[in-house]
Amino acid sequence: MKNFVTKDLSLKVVALGLAVLLWLSLSGEEYLEQALSIPVQYYGTPADLEYTSELVQTVDVHIRSSRNIKISESNIAAVVDLRDAKPGRKIIPLTADAIRLPSGVQVLKVTPPRLTVDLERTARKTVPVHPDIQGVPAEGFEVTKVTVQPPTVNIEGPSSKVERVNGSVTETVNVSGYSSDYSAVVNVTLEDSFVRLERPAQVEVRVQIRERRFPQVIENIPVQPTNTQYSAVVSPREIDVTARVPKSLAGKRQPILLSAHVDLTGLEPRRLPYQVEPQVVVAPEVADQVTIVSKWPQTVSVRIQVAKR
């Protein structure tokens, strides 16, 4: 027994000393527990899938580590693997294994303990572009027509959200104070943040501005029969038309502004008269200034006679 104790005594003393130093070193090391808000990193989302709700961007973790370990957002994060995701709702447990950590750091708790991700197939479609026109033209003038070129854009996003999109909208085009036509090249946007343009788009918005128009009754416009080889008698022979006319044209003789006719294509002579709706035509030189509101009467009686014209 004595030999066992004394044999290699010096080596045993050294080993004991090292053990004591190691124990003192470990027992004297200080550990720190802390709560942190860390980023969530999503990766591997399949190219044909789309998120349909806002993703959680941060989670809270309670960790334990030595004081000499430095913790920052660059070396700690919650990692969510979506490589095997399918359409629908996916619930991802946030265990300690899902937290990327420096060596020597222990995860005690993660809040929330799980994340929910909703995914749908990507859908695409073409929608019209709606111009956003604001402002009031110069006194005595008004906007009479607005066109957009190109008139449509292509969009893409989650299928259920794309289905609900009826159109896109332009940046605001302000026509305040203008007394003549105006155009602007503007960007196109979408109201739903989950739906996007296939590619950034700009369109040209053209605004037609004309002298403000006022209702005017233009009386006694003759109705002429057209497209017939027979003699036709129209009753009444004249109609009255209400039109929106700019002040500069108000009071002009009606032949300068309007004409009326009945199209008798395909109508053959018969004993009873036909009831035909007269067509009112605006003179080409003022076609962009005059708008037809109504006519009276709505129809006229046309008697087609056998005797040729």
The 10s digit of each residue's pLDDT in 156-206 is 999 999 999 999 999 999 999 999 999 999 999 999 999 999 999 999 999
Q: Summarize pLDDT for 222-256 with one digit per residue, the tens.
A: 999 999 999 999 999 999 999 988 888 876 655 56
pLDDT surpasses 60 at 21:
no
What CA–CA distance (Å, rounded) separates 232 from 57?
80
What CA–CA distance (Å, rounded) separates 264 from 276?
8
What CA–CA distance (Å, rounded) separates 290 from 211?
10
pLDDT surpasses 90 at 79:
yes
What CA–CA distance (Å, rounded) separates 189 from 210?
29
Confidence band for 289, pLDDT divided at 50, 70 and 90: confident
pLDDT surpasses 70 at 3:
no
pLDDT of residue 250: 75
* CATH homologous superfamily, domain 122-211: YbbR-like domain (2.170.120.40)
**6-20, 61-75, 183-197: which has the highest mean pLDDT?**
183-197
Confidence band for 12, pLDDT divided at 50, 70 and 90: low
Confidence band for 305, pLDDT divided at 50, 70 and 90: confident
pLDDT surpasses 90 at 306:
no
Cis? peptide before 269, omega within 30° of 0: no
pLDDT of residue 288: 82
Query: What are the tokens at 93?
Result: 């447990």
- Tokens 């660059």 sit at which residue? 74
pLDDT of residue 103: 85
pLDDT surpasses 90 at 40:
yes
pLDDT of residue 120: 97
The single-letter code of the amino acid at 143 is: V
160 and 216 Cβ atoms separated by less than 8 Å: no
Query: What are the tokens at 137?
Result: 């033209």
Task: Tell me which architecture the domain covering 29-120 has in CATH.
Answer: Beta Complex (2.170)
Q: Where along the chain do the CATH 2.170.120.40 domains lie?
A: 122-211
Confidence band for 24, pLDDT divided at 50, 70 and 90: very low
pLDDT surpasses 90 at 47:
yes
Task: Tell me which architecture the domain covering 213-308 has in CATH.
Answer: Beta Complex (2.170)
pLDDT of residue 65: 85
Evaluated on CA atoms 295, 299, 300, 306, the torsion sign reads positive
Q: Summarize pLDDT for 80-139 with one digit per residue, the tens.
A: 999 999 999 999 999 999 999 888 889 999 999 999 999 999 999 999 999 999 999 999
When pLDDT is averaged across residues 20-49 and rounded to a whole number, the result is 77
Q: Where along the chain do the CATH 2.170.120.30 domains lie?
A: 29-120, 213-308
Percentage with pLDDT > 70 across the chain: 87
Q: What are 41's strand-pairing partners?
A: 79
pLDDT surpasses 80 at 49:
yes
Give the list of residues 6+ apart from residue 161 with CB closer than 8 angstroms, or none: 52, 120, 192, 194, 195
What CA–CA distance (Å, rounded) separates 53 from 59?
17
Give the list of residues 6+ apart from residue 89 with CB closer than 8 angstroms, or none: 116, 117, 118, 119
pLDDT of residue 16: 64
When pLDDT is averaged across residues 34-42 and rounded to a whole number, the result is 92
When pLDDT is averaged across residues 203-229 and rounded to a whole number, the result is 93
Residue with more model confidence, 43 or 254: 43
